[in-house]
Chains A and B, each alone.
Chain A
Amino acid sequence: MNVRRPSEEFPRARARLLGAALLAASILLSAAGQLGMKAGMQELHAAEAAASAAEAAASATEAGAAGAGTAAPGAAGALAPYRPALAWTLGGLAAYGFSLLAWLAVLVRYPLSYAYPWLGLSYVLVFLGATHWPRLMEPATPMRSLGTLLILTGVALASAGGGAAPAKTPPPLPRKPADELLENKDL
């Protein structure tokens, strides 16, 4: 029987690198997504404030001019202040979506119990980003910092080291028909 053995070393190293890259991407993208969505909502606040200020100004001039045909500033002009909010929100959602896709690809390659603790890093990243990104600058209160650290610890404890599913190392396969092995491999 001629079972083709791929040369083991090189593809395995490459697969490991790809897995690590996917894991890193899903962590980074999920943190970036949260920060981007928050930035978008903050821009929405700003845009609403600007819009209501403009409205107040417009009604003031209208009152002054006694309703003399003050042309409404076109739909495009009215929407312009909302553009940054939309851009940040959509960017954040896109990052979030890609992080979910990357996570699926991670789950194909690693047992959940190994992969999940790494997600705890995203709590740290979101916290650091939220408190240090000039756009957000949220207060790093001691309670919030300590709580985030506790959660990180808890996520690592709750998920590390496998669990009910004994999927740590695949047991040595009993000799099976070669075509069955191949069938399982091409996923």
Chain B
Amino acid sequence: MNDLLVLLAVALLGTSQVLQKLGAARRLAGRRAPKEWASALLSPELLGAFFCLVAGTALWLFVLYGMDVSRAFPFLSLTSVVVIAASRIFLGERVPLRRWIGVGFIALGIALVAGS
């Protein structure tokens, strides 16, 4: 149960990162005027990023309530795995072999920590 909540929290926090990146690229890049920034912050991307961040953090606190932080925190590295896979699948980026090897290490490490 708690493990599912960790995964959900990680998914929310990861989604927030992707949305932040999208928002920065689509709404913030090249804008200087404060007025433009304000409207960018209210864009769906950045509002969504904010919501995911708040919900993910609240859930994270709930997770920490019932789990050692030395077990919960390593799960956060799952976001890099997901983001790398997503950038290959959805964005068509080339992912070098060394990066996949790194992803393998991360996944193995998470498996060990999760089993502890």
Q: CA of A141 to CA of B114 in the docked complex: distance in angstroms?
A: 12
A147 touches B103 (CB 8 A): no
Cβ 8 A contact of B64, one of A37, A123, A149, A155 = A37
Spot the interface stretch: A6-14, A51-59, A76-84, A130-138.
Answer: A130-138
A residues adjacent to B (C-beta < 8 A): 34-35, 37-38, 40-41, 44-45, 89, 93, 96, 116, 123, 126-127, 130-131, 136, 138-141, 143-144, 146-159, 161, 163-164
Secondary structure of the B contact surface, majority rule: helix
Could you say which of A93, A143, A163 contacts B99, with CB atoms under 8 Å apart?
Answer: A163
Chain B interfacial residues counted at CB < 8 A? 36
- Give me the interface of B with A, judged by CB distance under 8 Å: 57, 60-61, 64-65, 68-71, 73-74, 77, 80, 84, 93-96, 98-99, 101-116
Q: Which residue of B lies closest to A162 (CB)?
A: B96
Q: Given contacts A126-B73, A143-B116, A158-B98, could you give 13 more A-B pairs where the C-beta distance is less than 8 Å?
A: A37-B60, A38-B68, A123-B74, A123-B77, A136-B69, A140-B70, A144-B112, A153-B102, A154-B109, A155-B106, A157-B98, A158-B105, A164-B93
